[in-house]
Structure 1
Amino acid sequence: MTNDERSAAELRGLLRFAQGLGLDEAIVREIYEAVGREAMMTGASDDTRMAEVRKRMLAVVE
């Protein structure tokens, strides 16, 4: 799986999660891209990165 394919699959999963939270796609993409940039700088693992994205999505709806 290429990086683009993995990113697309991750984003699809996050968008399904977001629907349940009532978040729109633009917010999800913004969070996903911001966390991705931060993860690249810190060397965070994929699991850590995705957990942070979900955490921020939940924080937006609280």
Structure 2
Amino acid sequence: MLTSIFNQLEYLIQLDTKKTTDRGRLSEIIIGVQAAKEIEDIDMSLAELLCRVSAEVDKMQYSVNS
């Protein structure tokens, strides 16, 4: 699970730094779900941060589809 979160964050960083332009994987980002299921019990602050990242991904995805 942590590997999945790490990989998703790496992809988002690559998008942000223009190392990739493939926005097709945005719909596969499930950081918020993973944070709610797996991280909240361990670190609530991290879970909240990951949920904020997830909300930004939703906005990015919406702007791609508009």
Higher helix share: 1
Q: Which has the higher contact order (CA 8 A, sep 6+)?
A: 1
Q: Same fold (TM over 0.5)?
A: no
Based on CA coordinates, which of the two structures has the bigger radius of gyration? 2
TM-score by length of 2: 0.35
